[in-house]
Amino acid sequence: MATSFMAAIDPEDEVLLPDPGFPNYYMSVKLSHGTPVPYTLDVKNDWLPDLDNLERSLTEKTKMIVINSPSNPTGQVFSKEVM
């Protein structure tokens, strides 16, 4: 993942990351001079992202969205509809 971030991210690009999520994603984005932007995986929503909130997080600086399914650490698998 770190190599992918380094290859794709320009300084100040934003990368949406699942929260909770694998901590190395955050560190890899920072090392690539990007800006990590967390999106919440809420236990009250069965550890699935709120797609409306995710969409509101998108900006002109958003370069990528990390999707981790099955999720580390929650174990949630995103459905076809969520994907």
Residue 1: the pLDDT is 87
Output the CA angle 41-79-77, nearest 5 degrees.
55
Domain boundaries, the chain: 2-65
Residue 61: the pLDDT is 98
The pTM (predicted TM-score) of the whole model is 0.92
| Tens-digit pLDDT profile for residues 12-60 | 999 999 999 999 999 999 999 999 999 999 999 999 999 999 999 999 9
